[in-house]
Amino acid sequence: MSLTLTPLTNIPLIRQGDDLADILLTALQETNIELQDGDILVLAQKIVSKAEGQMVNLAAVIPAERARELARQSGKDPRLVELLLRESAEILRVRPGAIIVEHKLGFVCANAGIDHSNVAGEGDSVEEWVLLLPRDPDQSSRMIREKIQTTTGKKIGVMIIDSHGRAWRIGTVGVCIGLSGIPAVIDERGWKDLFGRELRITIVGAADELAAAASLVMGQAAEGTPAVHVRGFPYPLRESALKELLRPKEQDMFR
Amino acid sequence: MSLTLTPLTNIPLIRQGDDLADILLTALQETNIELQDGDILVLAQKIVSKAEGQMVNLAAVIPAERARELARQSGKDPRLVELLLRESAEILRVRPGAIIVEHKLGFVCANAGIDHSNVAGEGDSVEEWVLLLPRDPDQSSRMIREKIQTTTGKKIGVMIIDSHGRAWRIGTVGVCIGLSGIPAVIDERGWKDLFGRELRITIVGAADELAAAASLVMGQAAEGTPAVHVRGFPYPLRESALKELLRPKEQDMFR
């Protein structure tokens, strides 16, 4: 069976308080997609954060001394660094142009996932507004999923993704930052290979692989689309949580 | 337009000297897929390495002192470690169960990409054989692509992928280790966002995103399939090389 990812191109600009489940159902209808059991909807972090009101006006942020110091080291706006500190559990690396953190949500990423692009406030200069990540992306995924399941009667999965850089490879890739009803990982330990030997060590980051695929389809710039419909995910859907994908700090190879 | 990934389920067990282009053309035909301009074929490293004779019989490998020492530290077979040293430009981390290296091909990975599963030698015990990565995956991709293009008259891309772990996330994901005719990265620096501001810093690892998608479709175990047909890649095909995806050591955030 093929895996098919279809961008939902007719999502309007999202504002605080918008009901994403309703908007997705309308977009699916306009794209002539009828949901089936096992389908997945992948959403860009951006629209979830906007709907949840995670915009912050930088003009209202007062950087403390630590933020001003990290801003000097990184060359970043001190107000942005102040927000980044508030969003982070730990600062891991500071280099010119980049601050790598462990986000409070548990994953490692640059700049605490704070997004400067495609964010407009209400009546203020576009330049002053940034967007924080959703407060609880697993929970956001679950709520959108439940509303769509109730409306359609179909069992689906919902995932929220962001684009992350990698330590030693160039280019961002889509990664899962929250999900509901989709296996985060596939644990193949104990499965047999073609010659009957156990595949002892393989855990597949299936949700991240799907996130990367969806990110490819979304694109990044003005013509990008913030939601993708997926059919043919090759594993049974099940309940899971982001933390299945997060390596415990003591197993982290680089701390 | 949708992105569609279709596993080619009827690839036979590959042996040294097999012509992968011919095998892929047959598999496409049996799957009722007629190649179109812009299509991509994604191949698991395993079948390329086997066709190129990259199997090594561990029984014939004599570990030197450094390999024996790293084997003690990591708990790995000293003969495997000897091969791993020969395949690597640099050893980056040694922990129980894992040796992280910079492979001679330029990327960072565990165990130099040496594969123990699904490898059978000729008449010897299955346990004794391992598989090294292809010697030049960009070149392998190019040769397969050129033969298929000549046969079909269609302009396509070919990519070879492997599964890599991540520093701080659980689960392997598919990554590109060689390609021909596919943009490795999409450089969006200078593109405008929805509000006309420049997206200053985004380079998208498009080939790695596609590799992850294809890896998801391939699966890993006995029922897995080592080749995937892709239609609807959202960027124009162009010449590129693996090295576009490799972060120069001096920009590596973790060395």
- Domain with A75 in it: what CATH number? 3.90.1660.10
CB contact under 8 A, B220 and A202: yes
Helix (H, G, I), strand (E, B) or coil at B110: strand
Q: Let me know if A181 is exposed, middle or buried by CB neighbors in 10 A (0-12, 13-18, 19+).
A: buried
- A204 falls within a domain: yes
Residue B185, pLDDT above cutoff 90: yes
The secondary structure of A116-151 as a DSSP string is -TT---SSS-GGGEEEPPPS-HHHHHHHHHHHHHHH
Residue A162's φ and ψ, nearest 5 degrees, are -135, 170
Residue B206: pLDDT band by 50, 70, 90 thresholds? Answer: very high
Of residues B123 and B197, the one with the higher pLDDT is B197
Report the number of distinct structural domains present in chain B.
2
Which residues in chain A are closer than 8 Å to B1, comparing Cβ atoms? 7
Residue that is last in its domain, among B73, B104, B131: B131
Residue recorded with tokens 């392998």: B140
Cα–Cα distance for residue pair A188/B18, rounded to 1 Å = 29
Q: Could you tell me if A111 lies within 8 Å of chain B, comparing CB atoms?
A: no
CATH of the domain at B11: 3.30.1330.100
Q: What's the CA gap between A44 and B46, in Å, rounded?
A: 33
* CB of A82 closer than 8 Å to CB of A111: no
Residues A139 and A235 in one domain: yes
Q: How do residues A30-83 score in pLDDT, each as one tens digit?
A: 999 999 999 999 999 999 999 999 999 999 999 999 999 999 999 999 999 999
Distance separating alpha carbons of residues B254 and B75, to the nearest angstrom: 24
pLDDT at A198: 62
A26 and A143 within one domain: yes
- Domain boundary among the residues A131, A146, A175 is at A131
Cβ proximity of B231 and B4 under 8 Å:
yes
Token pair listed for B63: 């570990």
pLDDT value at residue B254? 61
CA–CA distance, A84 with A133 (Å, rounded to integer): 11
Output the pLDDT for position A126.
56
Quote the pLDDT of residue B9: 86
CB-based contact A161:A141 (threshold 8 Å): no
In a domain, residue B166? The reply is yes
Q: Is A37 a member of any domain?
A: yes
Asked whether residue A252 is domain-assigned, the answer is no
DSSP code at position B13:
P
Q: Are residues B37 and B150 in the same domain?
A: yes
Neighbours of A199 (CB within 10 A): 18
Q: Is residue A251 part of a domain?
A: no
C-beta of residue A45 within 8 angstroms of C-beta of residue A66: no
What residue type is assigned to position A40 of the chain?
Answer: I
**CB atoms B107 and A206 under 8 Å:** no
Task: Please state, in angstroms and rounded to a whole number, the distance separating the CA atoms of residues A140 and A232.
Answer: 23
- Can you list the residues of chain A whose pLDDT is less than 50? none
CA A129 to CA A249: how far, in whole Å?
32
The pLDDT score that the predictor gives to residue B223 is 58
Residue that finishes a domain, picked among A75, A109, A131 = A131
Contact A176, A210 (CB under 8 A): yes
pTM: predicted TM-score of the whole model, two decimal places? 0.93
CA distances from A195 to A115, B119, B130, B139, B222 (A): 48, 8, 13, 30, 8
Q: In this complex, do B247 and A215 lie within 8 Å of one another by their Cβ atoms?
A: no
B231 and B141, same domain (yes or no)? yes
Considering the domain architecture, whether residues B204 and B227 belong to the same structural domain is answered as yes
Do B35 and B61 reside in the same domain of the chain? no
Interchain CB distance below 8 Å, B212 and A217: no
A120 & A142 share domain: no
Tokens matching residue A149: 């399941």
Q: Are residues A89 and A146 in the same domain?
A: no
Number of Cβ within 10 Å of residue A167's Cβ equals 18
Strand partners, A178: A160
pLDDT at B118 over 70: no
Beta bridge partners of B106: none
State how far the Cα of A158 lies from the Cα of A43, in Å rounded to an integer.
Answer: 8
Q: Does B220 contact A234 at a Cβ distance shorter than 8 Å? A: no
For the beta carbon of residue B251, count every other beta carbon within 10 angstroms. 11
Statement to judge: residues B169 and B213 lie in one domain: yes
Are B134 and B160 a contacting pair, CB within 8 Å? yes
Q: Which two tokens stand for residue B240?
A: 């590129």
pLDDT at A201: 63
Is residue B24 included in any domain, yes or no? yes
Residue of chain B whose Cα is closest to the Cα of A125: B195
Band of the pLDDT at B102, cuts 50, 70, 90? Answer: very high
Which whole-number Å values give the CA distances from A174 to A50, A166, A245, B151, in the listed order?
19, 11, 14, 35
Whether residue B92 sits in one domain with residue B74: yes
- The predicted pLDDT at position B120 comes to 60
- Collapse the DSSP code of B221 into the 3-class scheme (helix H, G, I; strand E, B; otherwise coil) and give the result: coil
Asked if residue A216 and residue A99 are part of one domain, the reply reads no
Does any domain span residue A236? yes
- B97-114 exposure pattern, b = at least 16 Cβ within 10 A, e = fewer: ebbbbbbebbbbbbbbbb
Domain contains B252:
no
What Å distances lie between residue A128 and A3, A50, A116, A122, CA to CA? 40, 15, 9, 11
Residue A95 is predicted with a pLDDT of 86
Query: Other CB atoms closer than 10 Å to residue B241's CB: what's the count?
Result: 15
Residues B116 and B145 in one domain: no
Number of A–B residue contacts, CB under 8 Å: 235
Q: How far apart are CA A235 and CA B217, in angstroms?
A: 10
Enumerate residues 172 to 201 of chain B having a beta carbon within 8 A of any beta carbon in chain A. Answer: 172-175, 184-186, 188, 191-195, 197, 199, 201
Residue B95 pLDDT = 86
Q: What ipTM was estimated for this complex?
A: 0.93
Which residues of A fall within a CB distance of 8 Å from B117? 193-194, 197, 199
User: Domain range holding A61?
Assistant: 55-131
The maximal CA–CA distance of chain A, rounded, in angstroms, is 65
The pLDDT value given to residue B125: 58
pLDDT digits (tens, 9 = 90+) for B135-179: 999 999 999 999 999 999 999 999 999 999 998 899 999 999 999
Q: Which of residues 65-94 of B touch A (CB under 8 A)?
A: 93
